[in-house]
Structure 1
Amino acid sequence: MPTIVVEVMPKAELLDPQGKAVAGALARLGKSEFTGVRIGKRFELTVDGPVDEALLAEVREIAEDLLANTVIEDVVSVHQADVETVAAGETH
């Protein structure tokens, strides 16, 4: 069955306290090449049937209405996942 992935991130202009904490931990571990971290959410919706542009538009609307708090978050991606990616548990 196809899977649609929705990725939600905090709005760029807002402080991301979780990201800031991880960035600080990386610096303490000597990983100074990373200058910032932002932490978001990933949703995987399994679909019973084919995925087309109309369904992706419907999922984007659902994401804006239900999955993201649009006051502080942006829906940054709605796309069909690769079968290999979902099976392996990898992220984009």
Structure 2
Amino acid sequence: MAAYYIVEINPSSNHALIKAAHVYRVTDDHQFDATKVISFDRETIVSKIQNGFGFRVLTKSDGQWHVGNPVAIDENGYIKITPDGIKADYLGHLPTYD
């Protein structure tokens, strides 16, 4: 079960790494409060995943939320939703912020 949904990312200048992300905390009944955005830096996300906290991406289209792929750390330490062998973080096409 996901403990957090990632909804927005702050990418590095070359877009290879995620500097930070906006997330929503997920309750035991799979609900979240979209008015309570939490900011995690990259190191916190990696640490939480390594310590067993689940993350998934969350997108919104046509006014509806859509839970996406689970987030993992690959063998090279990159944050990914799919293993692709590329040396960069990849969470799909999430919105970005500065």
Q: Quick check: TM above 0.5?
A: no
Structure richer in helix, relative to its length: 1
More strand by share: 2
Q: Give the greater-gyration-radius structure (CA).
A: 1
TM-score when scaled to structure 1? Answer: 0.30
Of structures 1 and 2, the one with the larger relative CO (CA 8 A, separation 6+) is 1
Return the TM-score normalized by structure 2: 0.29
